[in-house]
Amino acid sequence: MSKKIERKLPEGIKAALVDMDGVLYDSMPFHANAWHQLFLELGVINSNPEEYYLYEGMTGADTIGMILKRELNRDTTPEERKALYAKKSEKFKNCGEKKMMPGASEMLEALKEKGLNTILVTGSAQSSLLDGIDIDYPGFFPKERRVTALDVNHGKPHPEPYLRGLEKAGVSPQEAIVIENAPLGVRSGKASGCFTIAVTTGPIPASEFEKEGADLIFPDMKTFAQWLKTI
């Protein structure tokens, strides 16, 4: 954990807004590979899988629009972005078995123990993961406590996903924490006014999360879950 950072939660926290990919599922390597393959097939040769960790949290449509404009200098229609995102989702599904993030169940149990309501806030619309949430994390994210890419006009790093999460929780930003693994997700959480916790479950260094103003930074989910139990 970074030392500049305070080591406790603010008073009066009632809800935890929890990201999905890279927090509940160890799915980012699959997403990165699926994006890389998709763009390679479209003629984008100047990218590598690691690059896509940086765009984590953005909607698929935003990522597609940005990369095709930058690399091929062409505009895309909403229909095309939707079709390409469906292709990417298919590739993601074919990457292999989804893996739950080690320590994530423990983290959710610790939040529940503290009386916090849990809300899912993901930039993803990946049904292959969303459909499994009730089985993998039973009781934590009923349908009315989920914000997905389908519920928002703007993906992360815009604050809208977390603002929608606050609405669903019925709390103010001062009463909620955000749990994120991506720099753009941290930016979104901070912009919504919430105390934002980064768990660095991927290859991006802690310094990137400090730059985004993360209030706490943990090296992995197990460490975060253990810490929650001690406070």
Applying CB under 5 A, which residues contact Ca ion? 19, 21-22, 181-182
Choice between 19 and 215, CB closer to Ca ion: 19
Nearest approach, Cβ of residue 74 and Ca ion (Å): 28
Task: End-to-end CA distance of the chain: give it in Å, rounded.
Answer: 15
Nearest approach, Cβ of residue 116 and Ca ion (Å): 19
Adjacency order of strands within the sheet including 195-199: 146-147, 117-121, 15-18, 176-180, 195-199, 216-218
Nearest approach, Cβ of residue 136 and Ca ion (Å): 16
Is residue 74 within 8 A of residue 68, CB to CB? The reply is yes
Residue 37 CA to its chain's centroid (Å): 21
Choice between 68 and 182, CB closer to Ca ion: 182
Choice between 117 and 124, CB closer to Ca ion: 124
> C-alpha dihedral over 55, 149, 180, 63, to 10 degrees?
0
Nearest approach, Cβ of residue 20 and Ca ion (Å): 6
Choice between 21 and 212, CB closer to Ca ion: 21
